[in-house]
Structure formats: structure tokens, C-alpha cells
Amino acid sequence: MAGSVNMAAAPPITPRLLTRAQAAGYCAMTPSRFSQLVKAGTLPAAVPGTTRWDRMAIDAALDKFAGLASPEKAGSALDRWLSKNGSRAA
């Protein structure tokens, strides 16, 4: 049929924000262990105002915990730009 979309060919959408259970599963641990590591500060807290965890923040925390975070990756893109270019005068 013209104009139809083949859903089988569409790539799956990976959500960026995860529930506690999803985040724990993503980290291959139980939800209670995930909560322990969040409380200890090893893993990030939920996004403020939500009960969802940012998958990219989890990745960054796990990289740091495993010693994989390089100095180049440390800090935000804005922080790196400011250190390279200096802050803008108001």
C-alpha cells in the first residue's frame, strides 16, 4: 500500500529516561542494589522532579567508576568550551 510505513524495519527507540527498575536492569543489578549505589553517590540520582534516571548520566558514572572516564570527557561541553575560549564579557 502506498504511503504505509513498515514498522518491522523501524529501529527500536531506546528511551533516555529510565524507571528505577529499567535503570537497574540496564546496569545488570537488582533495583535494591541500584538504590544502594545511588544513595552512596556511585550512581546518579533521579532527574530532579522525576522518578526517572538519565541513561547517559548512568553511563558517565559507570565510566568514571570503572576508570574509563578520560580527562577529555570530564566536565560538560560548555565547561570545555569556556576553558578553551574564555568566558564572554558581559
Indicate whether 78 belongs to any domain. Answer: no
Indicate whether 5 belongs to any domain. Answer: no
Confidence of residue 36 (pLDDT cuts 50, 70, 90): very high
Residue 89 is predicted with a pLDDT of 53
Indicate whether 1 belongs to any domain. Answer: no
Indicate the pTM of the whole model.
0.66
Domains identified in the chain, total number:
1
Domain that holds residue 29: 15-67
Residue 69 is predicted with a pLDDT of 72
Indicate whether 28 belongs to any domain. Answer: yes
Indicate whether 24 belongs to any domain. Answer: yes
Determine what percent of the chain is predicted with pLDDT higher than 90.
59
List all residues 6 or more positions away from 31 whose beta carbon is below 8 Å from its beta carbon: 20, 21, 24
90, pLDDT greater than 50: no
Amino acid (1-letter code) at residue 14: T
Indicate whether 51 belongs to any domain. Answer: yes
Phi and psi angles of residue 33, each rounded to the nearest 5 degrees, phi first: -65, -40
